[in-house]
Structure 1
């Protein structure tokens, strides 16, 4: 999968409907999300995300793509998403594995919202 397709694939996971999401996320997927229970696996991970409202717009930036071996793609990026009056930002990683020619599934996804500097918060900086 070339880089353009990688980013299109990833963006579709943020904006596509629940069936699209279920189709592209592997049953063995592990996820770390910034809300309880934080660590999710398999069908639990798929349903947790598939049953949340989809983002109407997402911008992926600072993207990096690694191909550590044949049939494995690891990406890292910053996401900025919005829907209605809600916005969300996070640093993310995803790992895809190839099942067969041109068939890829997400086997890992992680989101870390921007960290707030506690010292700056106390001083109002």
Structure 2
């Protein structure tokens, strides 16, 4: 995922680029590999997940969590439902519903990711928020 630098020339290209970053990271994640999300995350990322009592703050804390479940996530297939990307200069907000299928079961989560263009012209996740939603 070393292609985090944006070459997008217009807003539609940038929206597609942000979506592609998430899709690349999800493909790895669904095979138990969190490296795509680790690479995309900023040093000061904030991560909120209903599995935790408190939010995680900082890339180090997020990486420790991801490494504790490395190899344990196995998703047979998934859908990103109605992804939307909103843009504002050096910030992009991606929101979608994540629908995953594993062992004849389906689960669905809301996801919001906030990306920021950093000083090296790379889009990094500064905030992730997952929440449950009914199937």
TM-score normalized by structure 2? 0.70
Matches within 5 A, 1:63-78: 63-68=83-88, 70-78=89-97
Q: Partner residue of 1:79?
A: 98
Q: Partner residue of 2:11?
A: none
Larger Cα Rg: Structure 1 or Structure 2? 1
The runs of 5 or more residues in structure 1 that have no matched partner are 117-125
Q: Distance in 2 between matches of 1:20 and 1:10?
A: 9
* Corresponding residue to 1:61 among 76, 81, 93: 81
Q: Which has the higher strand share?
A: 1
The runs of 5 or more residues in structure 2 that have no matched partner are 1-7, 9-13
CA positional deviation for 1:63:
1.8
Root-mean-square deviation (CA, aligned residues, Å) is 2.3
CA positional deviation for 1:28:
0.5
Note if contact 2:19-2:85 (Cα within 8 Å) is conserved in structure 1. no
* More moved, 32-41 vs 77-86: 77-86
Q: Secondary structure at the match of 1:36?
A: coil
Aligned residues: 114
Q: Does 1:96 align with 2:112?
A: no
